[in-house]
Structure 1
Amino acid sequence: MKVFVTGATGFIGTAIVQDLLQAGHQVVGLSRSATSSEKLKAAGADVQPGDLEDLDSLRSGAAAADGVIHAGFIHDFSRFKEVCEIDKKAIETIGAVLAGSNKPLIVSSGTALVRPGALATEDIPSEIDVHKFPRVSEGTADRVAAQGVRAAAIRLSPSVHGEGDHHGFIPTLINIAREKGKAAYIGDGENRWNAVHRLDAARLFRLALEQGTAKAKYHAVGDEAITLKTIAEIIGRQLNLPVVSIAPAAAADHFGWFAMMASLDCPASSQLTQQRLSWKPTHPGLLEDLNSGIYFK
């Protein structure tokens, strides 16, 4: 299968490209720079010059492909509403090219806000309030599916971890701990995150591309529930810093923009995904990666 991949040189995208190539697929990666193009060529992929705002480039890449994995996203939280709109337009543009073909289009979403405070499963519709969190990739994919595209969504864990993770939520917590001189959690720290290794997530994208059904939601989840207190304790031990509880009223002062994520309780299951796609996480869990020291080099 010839697969067009956006976000092909990102932390997850590079693993997706490698997994696709190892499975015998041909890969064309979207690239916005000469450096990214060289990385793709070195990996064995072809290059489609452009970026997520270059709609003509997206059309060209999608038109020549047997399927599309849309793993790209502009991680600029200072203009989050704007980049979510860019994401929406990118999915719509690719979907319009694939309309009526029943070709697969796999988009990225998240488990974190599906059902905060309770175990999120694949058959639960997301409860995200788009006015507060305007990323609408799932809903956009569903509308594209209605046009005759086998569009589905991968809900990624809030922590997609592994070697080379420099900008995810775990590095954010580590950087805050270094800056503040203490590793912290909010309240009793019993709020939970789910997590997945990047290589397990990459394989799930490929399996969804090959076997997925229209409008399906698949959970890239290896660890269902890890408390923030446990994460903070490992960070404190690795950095030789005190581990402290932060009162909820002081969370914004300590964590800044990250306070909402640091307080989120979002356990999630991947049981249905494992059954439907014969997918099973096999790589190290988050606590193993944290204890190994790869995040503290």
Structure 2
Amino acid sequence: MRILVTGASGWIGSASVTELIAAGHHVIGLARSDEAAARIKALGAEVMQGSLDDLDSLRNATARAEGVVHLGYKHDFSQMADAARTDRAAIDTFAEVLQGSGGPLLIASGTLGLAPGRIGTEADMPAPAVHPRVGNAAYTLGLADRGIRSLVVRFAPTVHGAGGDHGFVATLARIARTQGVSACLGEGRNRWSAVHRLDAAKLVRLAIDKAAPGCVLHAVAEEAITAHTIATALGRSLAVPVTSISSDHAGAHFGWIGAFFGADAPASSTQTRERLGWKPQHPTLLEDIAAGHYPGT
């Protein structure tokens, strides 16, 4: 199948491109810069110049494909509403071209904030007020009624691996090295989920190959790692002490990530594994931390 991938040069996207090509798909990677184009080409994919803001480029790229894996997003926490509007316009553009084809339209979402205080499942449908992006996921699922194989993959807040991760754990490692301590909020009993980027990429490929329309899938290998456990692993890896930070001092110590690292956000992938036969097999988050993949530089 010819698959257009947005975010193809990114952390999850590049692994997904490799996985899709290995499975025999022809991948068209959307590139907004020459640097991104070079990375996509090196992966063995066809390159098309364009961006999420350029709907004509999205329309032209989608017309060359039989399906779309939409992993690109503007991760600017100061402009969340604008980012969600850009995302919705892109989804509408993909749907305009794919309508009636039965082709897949897979978009990325997240498990953070899915079901506070308990383990979230694929059956949970949070209110759009949780995050502007959540409404776009619900909208995408509804596109199944327009002859599109619409799919939503909710990724764990930590998608980890060797080299290139600029997400939450990499940020926590940099803070720990800068501050000289690895911290958690309070006792650090709140829980996070995690998945290795190569396991996440395999789930993307399995979804494209065989997931049913209107399906929600969870890219979660570890459903509940406590914040204290993560802080302790980083402290051991970076050779800094582990400490507790009160919520009153979270902003000063952690900056923007404090509100996220204090969230209790466990999530299950039981239904996903049963539906698609997905079996995560790559290193755990703690194994990747212990291997030195998060040096805090």
TM-score by length of 1: 0.96
**Is 1:262 the counterpart of 2:261 in the alignment?**
yes
Q: How does 1:191-210 map to 2 (within 5 A)?
A: 191-210=190-209
SS of residue paired to 1:106: strand
Which digits, 9 at most, give the CA deviation of each residue in 1:48-75, with x for residues without a partner?
A: 1101111011111111211110011122
Shift of 1:285: 0.8
Distance 2:118 2:195 in 1: 18
1:156 aligns with 155
In 2: Cα distance, 1:193 partner to 1:246 partner: 18
Task: Report percent identity of matched pairs.
Answer: 47
Distance 2:102 2:32 in 1: 28
Tell me the equivalent position of 2:126: 126
Measured in 1, the distance between the counterparts of 2:141 and 2:192 equals 26
Q: Per the alignment, in what secondary structure is the counterpart of residue 294 of structure 2? A: helix
Q: Is the 8 A contact 1:6 1:72 kept in 2?
A: yes
Superposed CA RMSD? 1.3
2 CA distance for matches of 1:66 and 1:128? 29
**1:100 aligns to 2:100 (yes or no):** yes
Match in the other structure for 1:188? 187
SS at the partner of 2:189?
coil
**4-13 vs 251-260, which moves further:** 251-260
Given residue 196 of structure 1, which amino acid in structure 2 is its aligned partner?
V
Is the counterpart of residue 39 in structure 1 residue 39 in structure 2? yes
Q: 1:87 and 1:199 mapped to 2: Cα distance?
A: 25
Deviates more, 1:183-192 or 1:74-83: 74-83
Aligned mates of 1:178, 1:80 — CA distance in 2: 29
Amino acid at match of 1:221: V
Please, which moves more after superposition, 37-46 or 191-200?
A: 37-46
Q: Which residue matches 2:26?
A: 26
Quick one: distance in 2 between partners of 1:183 and 1:174?
8
Residue number in structure 2 paired with 1:86: 86
Greater displacement, 226-235 / 81-90: 81-90
Deviations 1:133-163 (A, max 9, x none): 2113312212322322111100000000001
Give 1:78 deviation, angstroms: 2.5
Give how far 1:80 is off. Answer: 2.0
SS class of match (1:294): coil
**SS of residue paired to 2:129:** coil
Do the aligned residues in 1 keep the contact of 2:66 with 2:98 (CA within 8 Å)? no
Q: Is the 8 A contact 1:4 1:30 kept in 2?
A: yes
Following superposition, the deviation at residue 127 of structure 1 comes to 4.0
Give the letter aligned to residue 56 of structure 1: D
CA distance in 2, matches of 1:99, 1:271: 31
Match for residue 5 of structure 2?
A: 5
The runs of at least 4 consecutive aligned structure 1 residues that moved more than 6 Å come to none
Aligned: 1:243 with 2:246:
no
CA deviation after TM superposition for structure 1 residue 3, in Å: 0.6
Aligned partner of 1:119: which letter? I
Are the counterparts in 1 of residues 15 and 201 from structure 2 also a CA contact under 8 Å?
yes
Q: Match of 2:132, as an amino acid?
A: P
State the 1:255 CA deviation: 1.5
Residue 253 of structure 1 and its aligned partner are, at CA, apart by: 2.2
Are the counterparts in 2 of residues 2 and 28 from structure 1 also a CA contact under 8 Å? yes
CA contact (8 A) 1:113 1:127 kept: no
Q: Shift of the alpha carbon at 1:128?
A: 4.8
- What is the CA distance between 1:42 and its match in structure 2? 2.0
Are the aligned partners of 2:153 and 2:218 in contact in 1 as well (CA < 8 Å)?
yes
